[in-house]
């Protein structure tokens, strides 16, 4: 079980309050719950039993579904896909219903190369239709074709969904395709000359037989989806159809989008998520220590004005990483923990909450020292850097780490968290309901990206408990 200190209880109260406010914002008051609030929400699907997107459950019993431009059903969707939900609440935000759920992949094509990340075994870079596709520990793979991180191969035809970022398409979902006759790519038409143009650097050729779906003419700058086949050299897409892509966000009371920050302007706080421009100049940042930057994955809530999303809230996405342990080093704007001779370094910003529960006032990071036992919470940004949310000095207690699994060795009962391998051969194991389970059952439940907590009760370097987290 996690150890709950004053700061965790306070954090839980704040988060609960924020969730309650978020659920009610833009809607009606308690005096008039019958007023309908419409919402468009785009983000990664995180669960079913209805559909969960951006932390909300949308009842889907009366919803229509559109999957890859055809009529579909909820059974066609998978966790990890990025879906757009058009829905509403008529009870002041206590519950939400979906009118329409749509999904369309970002890229479909053959893998031409795979480059492992030598510094991080949980990452690979694929080239698909000339596009860099970044695979990481959070990427979900389709179960139906036995596709895994390890089984990815050159020549595989993949359907990929994800966030466009500064370094390429960060994949959230990958599915292997058996049909290799038609490929797809989305982007803006560039370098249009006659019957040729480029989409994200990929040459495209069209002619009189190309189906122009929803557009009168092929023009520079138009955002489209192109479907077609590759030429004999495998370098040019021969367009069979060109379809205009339109987010159609205009008529909703609320807009929520999840994605990766690009083209961030620090002076104006304006950036893009995909093709949507966002103005976060007056937005509340959650957590308060959040430092906006290119490559950061966020959820933005607000409303459209003149095609620009005026952000009311910008939330960092993902589950918080927690460490209860002594500090190994304190820098001007960093703190360091050391396990098994390997350093874990985190960035401390102006918004990081610094607290003390030992009777010694804390005014700045300089008031902390190596050896101080702290309760530490952070998010990892798109580049893997830890951004500290809260650091609280407290009396020494059991050492604990809660973080996503980056690698695992079932035979030797070891896991890698935050770049450090931990030996769990002496540990007892629990599931997410705090029920003791066997080592085999624990490791069978593990996968890259799954959050676990490991504990060293005696602070002697031997981790004696490991627990699955929700």
Query: Please, what are the domains in the chain?
Result: 6-103 (no CATH), 107-176 (2.40.50), 183-244 (2.40.50.140), 254-316 (2.40.50.140), 321-397 (2.40.50.320), 402-468 (no CATH)
Token pair in block for residue 402: 């809660």
pLDDT at 32: 52
pLDDT at 433: 80
pLDDT at 17: 39
pLDDT at 250: 66
pLDDT by residue, tens only, the chain of 470 residues: 333 333 333 333 333 333 343 444 444 444 455 688 999 999 988 777 788 888 788 999 999 999 988 999 998 998 889 999 999 999 888 889 999 999 999 999 999 999 998 877 878 999 999 999 999 877 889 867 788 899 999 999 999 999 998 889 999 999 999 877 799 999 999 999 999 999 999 999 999 999 998 888 999 999 999 999 999 999 999 999 999 987 767 677 899 999 999 999 999 999 999 989 999 999 998 877 778 999 888 999 999 998 899 999 998 876 789 999 999 999 999 999 999 999 999 988 766 889 999 988 888 999 999 999 999 988 775 556 788 888 999 999 999 999 989 899 999 999 999 999 999 999 999 988 889 999 999 999 888 778 899 999 999 999 999 998 86
């Amino acid at each position: 079980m996690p150890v709950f200190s004053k700061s965790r209880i306070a954090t839980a109260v704040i988060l609960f309050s924020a969730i309650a406010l978020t659920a009610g914002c833009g809607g009606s008051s308690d005096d008039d719950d019958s007023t309908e609030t419409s919402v468009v929400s785009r983000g990664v699907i995180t669960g079913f039993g209805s559909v969960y997107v951006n932390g909300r459950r949308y009842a889907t019993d009366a919803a229509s579904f559109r999957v890859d431009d055809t009529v579909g059903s909820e059974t066609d969707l998978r966790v990890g896909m990025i879906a757009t939900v058009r829905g509403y609440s008529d009870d002041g935000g206590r519950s939400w219903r979906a009118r329409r759920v749509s999904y369309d992949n970002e890229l479909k094509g053959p893998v031409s190369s795979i480059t492992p990340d030598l510094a991080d075994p949980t990452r690979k870079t694929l080239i698909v239709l000339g596009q860099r596709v970044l695979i990481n520990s959070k990427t979900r793979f389709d179960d139906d074709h036995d596709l895994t991180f390890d089984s990815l191969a050159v020549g595989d035809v993949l359907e990929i969904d994800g966030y466009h970022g500064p370094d390429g398409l960060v994949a959230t979902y990958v599915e292997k395709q058996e049909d290799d006759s038609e490929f797809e790519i989305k982007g803006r038409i560039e370098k249009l000359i006659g019957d040729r143009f480029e989409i994200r650097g990929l040459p495209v050729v069209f002619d009189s037989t190309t189906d122009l779906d929803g557009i009168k003419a092929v023009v520079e700058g138009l955002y489209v989806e192109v479907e077609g086949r590759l030429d004999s050299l495998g370098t040019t897409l021969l367009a069979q159809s060109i379809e205009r892509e339109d987010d159609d966000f205009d008529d909703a009371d609320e807009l929520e989008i999840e994605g990766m920050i690009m083209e961030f302007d620090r002076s104006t706080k304006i950036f893009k998520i995909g093709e949507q421009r966002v103005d976060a100049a007056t937005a509340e940042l959650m957590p308060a220590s959040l430092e906006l930057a290119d490559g950061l994955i966020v959820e933005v809530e607000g409303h459209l004005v003149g095609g620009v999303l005026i952000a009311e809230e910008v939330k960092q996405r993902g589950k918080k990483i927690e460490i209860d342990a002594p500090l190994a080093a304190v820098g001007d704007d960093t703190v360091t923990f050391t396990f098994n001779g390997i350093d874990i370094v985190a960035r401390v910003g102006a918004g990081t909450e610094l607290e003390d529960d030992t009777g010694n006032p804390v005014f700045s990071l300089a008031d902390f020292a190596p050896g101080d036992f702290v309760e530490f919470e952070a998010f990892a940004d798109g580049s893997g850097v830890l951004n500290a949310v809260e650091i609280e000095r407290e009396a020494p207690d059991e050492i604990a780490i809660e973080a996503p699994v980056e690698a695992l060795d079932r035979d030797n009962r070891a896991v890698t968290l935050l770049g450090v391998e931990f030996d769990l051969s002496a540990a007892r194991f629990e599931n997410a309901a705090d029920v003791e389970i066997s080592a085999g059952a624990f490791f069978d439940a593990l996968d890259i990206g799954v959050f676990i907590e490991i504990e060293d009760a005696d602070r002697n370097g031997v981790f004696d408990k490991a627990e699955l987290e929700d």
